[in-house]
Amino acid sequence: MTRTQPTLAANLAYLSAETRVPAASVLAIRVAVTLSKWTTRRRTRLALSQLNDHQLRDVGLTRDEASCEARRVFWRA
């Protein structure tokens, strides 16, 4: 018995035909996007706190500006 896998075009046609996305899916996507943003902020602020003075000058920040930004909590933009 052989299995046929749906093609990309068939998948896109199916998604295009669906006009309404379930509320649970919308909520799940919003949660995933928010968590992704928070993770990125946390990671970049941690990396910023570990830069040396030469690297900070390279990105145009002072040590005080970098420290202030690195201390911000991840849920604040």
- pLDDT, tens digit (0-9, with 9 covering 90-100), for 16-72: 776 787 889 889 999 999 999 999 999 999 999 999 999 999 999 999 999 999 999
Q: Quote the number of domains for the chain.
A: 1
Domain encompassing residue 38: 24-77
59 in a structural domain: yes
- Confidence at 5, pLDDT banded by 50, 70, 90: low
8 compared with 3, residue with greater pLDDT: 8
8 in a structural domain: no
- Please check whether residue 48 is in contact with residue 67, taking contact to mean a CB–CB distance below 8 angstroms: no
What the block records as the tokens of 10 is 């068939």
53 in a structural domain: yes
60 in a structural domain: yes
What integer pLDDT is reported at residue 7 of this predicted model?
A: 79
Beta strand extents in 22-61 (DSSP E only): none
CA distance 47 to 29: 27
- Confidence at 3, pLDDT banded by 50, 70, 90: low
